[in-house]
Chains A and B, each alone.
Chain A
Amino acid sequence: MSELLSVWLAAILTLIVYSYLLGDNPLYRLAQHVFVGSSVGYAVVVVLHSVLRPRLVEPLLQDAGANWPYLLPLLLCLLLLTKTRGTTAWLGNSAVAFLFGVGAALAIGGALLGSFLPQIQASWVSVSPSSAGGRVAAANNILLAVGTIGTLAYFYFTMGVRGSPGSGLVRFASTVGRWVILITFGAIFGNRVMAYVSLLIERVYFLLGDWLGLLG
C-alpha cells in the first residue's frame, strides 16, 4: 500500500514539475517551494546529526579535557553568530577570516596537486614518431601541444595587447586558442547531452513503467 502511495506521489510530483514546460503555474511554484523547504530542512538535519553532534558537541561533552582543541571551532561558531547583529558584526570577521584562510590554502593546494602539476606533466608528450608510437600518434601529439598552448595563450590579459612586444605571436596563438576552445565546447556539449537525456529517460521510464505499467 505504502509503495503504491509512493509511486503515485512521485508520479504526481513529476508531472507537476513537467507542467512548467507548458507554462509557469501555481502548482509548479508550490512544488518548487516545497522542494526548497524540504531540502533546507533535510540539510539542517544531516548537518546536525553527521557533523555538529558527533564532531563538535559529543567530543566536548564526553571528554573536554582531552578534546580541548575543539574549543576553537566552538569559539569560531560563536563568533560567526555575532555576525547576525549589526553592532557586533566585526567580531565575526575572525571566523570568516578563518574560512578564507583555510579555503585559500585548500584552493592553492588543490589546484597545484589536482590540476596544475598533473596537467603540465601530462602535456609533455613526445612528437617524434619513434617514441610516440607511429606517425599518426606523433601528429596527434603535435596538435595536442599546439592546442594546449593556444588555449593558454587565449587567456593572456596584459600581454599581446597591440603595440607590445611579441603581440603578433600572442594574438596568433590566442586565435588558435579560441578555435580550440570552441571545438572543446562543442565536444563537451555533444558528450554531455547524453547524460542529461538519460536523466529524462529514467523519469519517463518511471512514469510509463512503474506508474502506468505500460512497459513490459
Chain B
Amino acid sequence: MRRIAQAVGVGLRRSIPMALAIAIGSLVLVDFFFDQPHINALGSFFVESVVILVAFAMILGLLNVLVVHFRRIWKRDDGWYYSIALVSIALVVVVAGIPGADSRVVTWVFDNVQFPLQAATFSLLAFFVATAAYRGLRLRSWESVAFVVTAVVVLIGQVPVGRYVSELLPQIKDWILNVPSTAGMRGIIIGVALGTIATGVRVLTGFDRPYSGEGDSTQ
C-alpha cells in the first residue's frame, strides 16, 4: 500500500510539471497562429508571467552571488578581498535602490562606475579582435584561404582608404556581402531555425524534460 502511494506520488511529481509545460507551451504556440482576442490575451499573460518569474529569479541570482562570495570571504579563498568589493557594492546599490530606481546613489554609481567600466571593457574587443586576427586567420587549409581573403577584402573595402587602393575593392566588398555572404547567412539561419523548432517540439511533446530535475533522483 505504501509503495503504491509512493509510486503515485513520484508519478505525480513527474507528470504535473510535464503536463504544465505541454499545456502552457501549446497555448502560447497556438497564440502565434490565431488572431483571436481571447487566445492573444492568454498568450500575453503567460509571457508576462514568464517575465515576472525571470525577474524573481534575478533575486535568487543575487542570493547565489552573495552565498558564493561570502563563502569565498569566509574561507579566505584566493582573491577573497575582491569578493568584499563585489558584495559591498552590490549591496550598496540594492539597498540604495529599494526606495526607487532613480535614487541618487544608484544613478551616480551607474553613470560614474558601471557605465565607464562597461564601455572600457567592451572596447577591449578591438584589441582582442586584433589578436584573434593574428592568431586565428591563418591559411591552414584551402577553405581557410577563402575565410582570410574575404576578411581582408571586406576589411579594406569598407574604409575610405579602400577606394584609394582600387576603385573595384568597395564593389567587390558589396558583392561579397550581397551574394555569397547573404547565401551563407541564410543557410545558417534556416538551419538554426530547423534545430530550434525541433528542440522546441521535443520539449512540447515531452520527449525532453529538462525541468524534471533532481526532485526525481534524490528520493
Chain A interfacial positions (CB closer than 8 Å to B): 5-6, 9-11, 13-14, 17-18, 20-21, 29-52, 55-56, 69, 72-73, 76-77, 80-81, 83-84, 86, 89-113, 115-116, 119-120, 122-123, 140, 143-152, 154-155, 177-194, 196-197, 199-200, 202-203
Find the B residue at minimum CB distance from A155: B191
B155 near A96 (CB under 8 angstroms)? Answer: no
Given contacts A111-B196, A187-B150, A191-B158, contact A104 B79 (CB under 8 A): no
A52 near B55 (CB under 8 angstroms)? Answer: yes
Chain B interfacial positions (CB closer than 8 Å to A): 13, 16-18, 20-29, 31-32, 45-63, 65, 79, 82-83, 85-94, 97-98, 100-101, 106, 109-127, 129, 133, 137, 143-144, 146-155, 157-159, 173, 175-194, 196-197, 199-201, 203-204, 209-216, 218
**Among candidates B57, B82, B98, B123, residue contacting A80 with C-beta atoms closer than 8 Å:** B57
Question: A13-B117, A151-B188, A187-B177 known; 18 other A-B pairs, CB under 8 Å?
Answer: A38-B89, A49-B101, A51-B51, A73-B52, A81-B60, A84-B60, A90-B216, A91-B215, A96-B210, A97-B209, A98-B49, A101-B28, A107-B196, A148-B186, A148-B190, A152-B190, A189-B147, A190-B155
- Measured in the bound complex, the distance between the Cα atoms of B151 and A106 in whole Å is 35
A181 near B188 (CB under 8 angstroms)? Answer: yes
A-B contact pairs, 20 of them (CB 8 A): A33-B82, A38-B90, A41-B89, A41-B93, A44-B94, A46-B101, A52-B55, A73-B49, A77-B56, A94-B20, A96-B210, A97-B212, A102-B46, A105-B32, A106-B28, A119-B193, A151-B184, A151-B188, A185-B184, A202-B119
A41 near B21 (CB under 8 angstroms)? Answer: no
- Measured in the bound complex, the distance between the Cα atoms of B101 and A205 in whole Å is 31
B147 near A183 (CB under 8 angstroms)? Answer: yes
A193 near B155 (CB under 8 angstroms)? Answer: yes
B146 surroundings in chain A (CB, below 8 A): 179, 182-183, 186
- Measured in the bound complex, the distance between the Cα atoms of B126 and A10 in whole Å is 19
A42 surroundings in chain B (CB, below 8 A): 93, 97, 106, 109-110, 114
B48 near A55 (CB under 8 angstroms)? Answer: yes
Given contacts A51-B51, A112-B193, contact A18 B120 (CB under 8 A): yes
A56 near B158 (CB under 8 angstroms)? Answer: no
B193 near A38 (CB under 8 angstroms)? Answer: no
Tell me the smallest distance from the CB of B144 to a CB of chain A, in Å: 7
- Measured in the bound complex, the distance between the Cα atoms of B131 and A170 in whole Å is 36
- Measured in the bound complex, the distance between the Cα atoms of B190 and A123 in whole Å is 11
Find the A residue at minimum CB distance from B53: A76
B120 near A14 (CB under 8 angstroms)? Answer: yes
A115 near B151 (CB under 8 angstroms)? Answer: no
Given contacts A151-B188, A197-B126, contact A203 B119 (CB under 8 A): yes
A147 near B187 (CB under 8 angstroms)? Answer: yes
Tell me the smallest distance from the CB of B111 to a CB of chain A, in Å: 7
A203 near B120 (CB under 8 angstroms)? Answer: yes
A187 near B180 (CB under 8 angstroms)? Answer: yes
A111 near B193 (CB under 8 angstroms)? Answer: yes
A105 near B184 (CB under 8 angstroms)? Answer: no
B182 surroundings in chain A (CB, below 8 A): 144, 147
- Measured in the bound complex, the distance between the Cα atoms of B109 and A6 in whole Å is 10
